[in-house]
Amino acid sequence: MSTDPLSALLNIINTSTNELQSLYTKNGSQFPSLDATYKPGPLDEDAKAIELSKLVVAAANQLIATVRSPKDTLWELVPSMYMSAAIGFAVDVDIPEILNEAPNKSLQVKEIASAVNCQASHVGRVLRYLATRHIFKEVTPDVFTNNKLSSALIKASGKTVGELQAKPLEKYENSGNAAFVGHIVGEGLRSSSSMVDFLKGSGKGANSPFNMAWGTDKRLWDWYAEPGQGWRFRRFVAAMQFVAQTYKDTIFQNAYDWKSLKSTDVIVDVGGNMGTVSLAVAKMFPETKFVIQDLPPVIEGAKTFWKANFPEAIENGRVKLEAHDFFQPQPVKGAAIYFCRFIIQDWPDADCIKIMKRIREAANPSSKLIFFEIGIPYACADPTKYEADVERRTAPFPLIPNLGKGGGSDPTSVDMTMLNLLNGQGRNVGQFIELGNATGWKLTSVKNDELSIITFSAA
């Protein structure tokens, strides 16, 4: 193994790319071209292909950071808000769909501008900025087409441009990636403009950058319930449903030895929304029984969801849907498992402590508490000796152990979103131990899949 960082990075890129190509060759296919539109492929979810791709991305980014002048790197990274704004604009005016519907799949800037009713010079500049960063392709001067990345922004609902433009407030429903872009740019970009002021005055002023930027004291969900914000709420729900879908059922099916539960044992999905995690486990393990809890309007939606996806489970009582505020006393006493996915990261410590205490008060000595969260690994090796069984992240020299930008769905970026919109927080192992110590739970294990699986026992 080379001890020279540049050679070691090149070696990782070479060997991992070769292995990745071999996987495709064995599969009878070729690695998809950046110029082709995106189509889901058989190796998209292959664990080995994902691992190799992460290594290539981590090493390539570290190589760029090493060889590029600091000035050039910083001048590219600092104005990242233009990237958010440019993608947000393209998605909001339906440019990926407009190009997709064009007879030869490409259009002159003037034609695109006319279709979106904006100035041609503006549209051309935005598309060139994006194409320079491999989102869209400029095929000949001022003519653009979709490529792998821009085509992944086509709204998944399959609506035509005419349908999208006829009902603009509904365009993000069931739209996949586009809903995520719409939410992050729509609420997040403006909120982030207050982040520096929020950080400098933390604890004294507003509850979050979102609160400062939008001039509201309400939490994001309560603000969504205000008159006129319904379309944003529906876009947020679509974004969250899309995010949830990206996590494979096997993460949850393998997270615990569900078969070891007794027929009388109950599993509580706290803040479960539609209960998609429960659905994944319920389908695979027919003996399991669930109570899915969320706020009343969400539980109403969950009834429709289960009717469509697994009606027998509701009819035979295996799955119960229950309106419950997790800051209030937990009504299900002595459950075998209480679990929460993407709940703790939404809240500051003081609120997490309340949520965990309410569950602990209802738990019995053998109850377990499981969190599925975007755990935040350090950007260095973690030398801490934990009592719990903690799976460590490692990476070959000279990569940083969390793989930097190769680290899958980008935990530190999710952490920034939590801070920006909710004053929530992605947490590391030590921070979960502290939450447990404050609430009567003892951390027993941390496993890492695309999510971290954090398990506590009653202390």
Ligand X SMILES: C[S@@+](CC[C@H](N)C(=O)[O-])C[C@H]1O[C@@H](n2cnc3c(N)ncnc32)[C@H](O)[C@@H]1O
Residues that bind ligand X (CB under 6 A): 221, 240, 244, 271-273, 276, 294-295, 298, 325-327, 341-343, 346
Nearest CB to ligand X, comparing residues 102 and 374: 374
Please compute, for residue 357, the number of CA atoms within 13 A of its CA located in the half-sphere on the CB side. 10
Rg (CA), the chain: 24
Strand order in the sheet with 106-108: 106-108, 143-145, 137-140
Please say which residue, 187 or 294, places its beta carbon nearer to ligand X.
294
Nearer to ligand X, 192 or 276 (CB): 276
- Cβ atoms of 126 and 138 within 8 Å: the answer is no
Torsion of CA 6, 10, 16, 22, to 10 degrees: -170
Min CB(314)–ligand X separation in Å: 18
User: For residue 38, which phi and psi values (nearest 5 degrees)?
Assistant: -75, 130
Residues forming a β-bridge with 270? 293
Min dist CB 324 to ligand X, Å, is: 6
> Is 208 within 8 Å of 420 (Cβ atoms)?
yes
Cis peptide before 348 (omega within 30 of 0): no
3-state helix, strand, coil in the chain (%, to 5): 50, 10, 40
DSSP type of residue 178: H
Q: Name the residue nearer to ligand X (CB basis): 83 or 295.
A: 295
Alpha helix positions (H), 295-348: 296-309, 311-315
Of the candidates 242, 270, 136, the one whose C-alpha atom is nearest the C-alpha of residue 179 is 242
Cβ closest to ligand X, residue 106 vs residue 276: 276
Sign of CA dihedral 402, 371, 275, 418: negative
Q: Which is nearer to ligand X, 152 or 421 (CB)?
A: 421
Report, in Å, the least distance between residue 186 CB and ligand X.
17
Question: Between 10 and 244, whose beta carbon lies closer to ligand X?
Answer: 244
Instruction: Name the residue nearer to ligand X (CB basis): 295 or 314.
Output: 295
Minimum Å distance from CB 205 to ligand X?
23
Tokens of 120: 């041609």
Task: Output the smallest distance, CB 344 to ligand X, in A.
Answer: 10
Quote the DSSP letter at residue 380. S
